[in-house]
Amino acid sequence: MAAAPVWSVDPRTGKQREQVAVEATAQEVDAAVRAAHAARDALADRTVRAAFLRSAADELKAAESTLVEVADAETALGPVRLTGELARTCYQLRAFADIVDEGEYLGVVVNHPDDTATPPIPDLRRYKVPLGVVAVYSASNFPFAFSVPGGDTASALAAGCPVVVKAHPDHPALSELVAKVLRRAAARHGIPDGVLGLVHGFEAGVELIKHPLVAAAGFTGSVRGGRALFDAAAARPVPIPFHGELGSLNPVVVTEAAAAERAEAIGAGLAGSMTLGVGQFCVKPGLVLVPAGDAGDGLVKSLTDAVSATDAGVLLDHRMRDNFVAGVAERAALPDVDSPVTPGAGGEHTVSPGFLTVPAARLADGGEHDLLLEECFGPVTVVARYADEGEVRGVLSRLPGNLTATVQLSAEEAAGESAGAAALLAEVTPLAGRVLVNGWPTGVAVAAAQQHGGPYPATTSTSTSVGGTAIERWLRPVAYQGVPEALLPVELRDDNPLGLPRRFNGVLER
């Protein structure tokens, strides 16, 4: 049987643009993984690895106009958004190059023998080594930052792990172009093409997670798809780490005092956040707890005005559009659910933003209204009106894990003059990996302190996929005991010829 073609599709029209590849067979997946496995030694030198990452950023920047044009044709995300996303991606690659140069991520610890300790301490030296080939599953909504050149790829390469990417079907042409750019950067440093493999097709993704030479995987996508791969990773004869970002509601709690103080600003800010990128951000606020009464009414009016003034937009593909239209219709049909601005089909190829309101007590009770506690991908949010703090606690107690949780406080509450504000923060902290006060979750800074990951189903692990510590996902610690100095890895020798940050006999050296 001939391999199925892979087409690039214009989401603005639903029409095929061009055939860019064919779906990979099991044999082709095997070849890609084996080529990546063979490229491990080429990444062993940290200096070469850092230079490769910087060259990758340079090559991407040099190809910016072509890449953005193709990305926009396949995603309809617009040149401004995509140019910014590409800049973020280049910054991320350079940031990981700096981390590799610095070497602190290796976690070097040296303990000399100590016979006076109880029990005695032998000569022990510990650091981290790369896991091996990493499978990366691209996301639809960030064709640069969470796709072929994105955070999973950048952090894996920084760790010294070759990568095989399963391309997302929504931007296959861009994936092919970016892979060529990254391989060109690799070639500048004598690194073989196999360091970055690329395969297309659903079955190829399944074969990839099963391959015995794949040592770990990173995924960003749906709960259904991510859970299937997570289970497959665990069911292997040798299970592997699976770092998946699956889905998030990203709750927001607006206190009564905050709503009374700045209802208009909060409503406008919420509208901007929930419609940003046509509601296709993984950190879109999907559930907002707003007080009943006049203060909450003012916020809802502000939200109504702002969302009503927001144009219809194009989702990443027509399947997502169909799911959005069906999803909001099913939610709007539930008892006691109103639609101040009705979300849904905006045209043959577009969707209109909107929001739903519901009494918070309905969500605390469970039953059919649990549907409102599930992510709906697209420009919609659910505003739950609460009568008292007990209803807020009741809803929060029923939420699954999230990437983010946001609290909107008054100036007095934010100044620490209210015990209730501290209690509310303590209540939302177990729900999410990132907790915000008086901000909006859309926008994930690439920074050392970032945490982009939360309790399941937001992610399948406690690690982050954004920021410097994302590199830790692809490393494992090894301790050497009683190994002669001449046989030790150079990173662990007493004279520290590489000048690495380390803890030496209990003393932190930088």
- Residues paired with 108 in a beta bridge: 502
pLDDT of residue 411: 95
Asked if residue 354 and residue 290 are part of one domain, the reply reads yes
Asked if residue 264 and residue 218 are part of one domain, the reply reads no
The one catalytic residue in 176, 207, 245, 391 is 245
Question: Does 269 map to a domain?
Answer: yes
3-state SS assignment for residue 437: strand
Asked if residue 72 and residue 35 are part of one domain, the reply reads yes
Asked if residue 237 and residue 129 are part of one domain, the reply reads yes
Asked if residue 314 and residue 238 are part of one domain, the reply reads no
Asked if residue 433 and residue 298 are part of one domain, the reply reads yes
Q: Indicate the number of domains in the chain.
A: 2
The one catalytic residue in 282, 376, 391, 413 is 282
Q: 200, 457 in Cβ contact below 8 A?
A: no
Question: Does 498 map to a domain?
Answer: no
pLDDT of residue 510: 84
Asked if residue 255 and residue 239 are part of one domain, the reply reads no
Asked if residue 352 and residue 221 are part of one domain, the reply reads no
Residues 330-348 have pLDDT tens digits of: 999 999 999 999 999 988 8
Asked if residue 41 and residue 188 are part of one domain, the reply reads yes
Question: Does 307 map to a domain?
Answer: yes
pLDDT of residue 1: 57
Q: 353, 341 in Cβ contact below 8 A?
A: yes
d(CA 476, CA 467): 18
**What's the CATH code of the domain at 271?**
3.40.309.10
d(CA 109, CA 478): 11
pLDDT of residue 204: 97
Question: Does 262 map to a domain?
Answer: yes
Nearest C-alpha neighbor of 81 from the set 403, 352, 313, 251: 313
Q: 287, 382 in Cβ contact below 8 A?
A: yes
Question: Does 510 map to a domain?
Answer: no
Asked if residue 239 and residue 330 are part of one domain, the reply reads no
119 upstream amide cis, omega within 30 of 0: yes
d(CA 152, CA 188): 22
Which segments of the chain have a pLDDT < 70?
Answer: 1-2
| Residue whose structure tokens are 């640069």 | 144
Q: 261, 410 in Cβ contact below 8 A?
A: yes
Active site residue 161: no
Domain extent, residue 181, equals 25-246+462-474
Question: Does 406 map to a domain?
Answer: yes
3-state SS assignment for residue 330: helix
Asked if residue 351 and residue 265 are part of one domain, the reply reads yes
Question: Does 284 map to a domain?
Answer: yes
Question: Does 7 map to a domain?
Answer: no
Asked if residue 198 and residue 67 are part of one domain, the reply reads yes
**329-337 contacts: CB < 8 A, separation 24 or more?**
330/371, 331/356, 331/371, 331/372, 331/376, 331/382, 332/356, 334/358, 334/362, 334/368, 334/369, 334/371, 334/372, 335/362, 335/368, 336/362, 337/372
**What's the CATH code of the domain at 108?**
3.40.605.10
d(CA 393, CA 398): 9
Predicted model pTM: 0.95
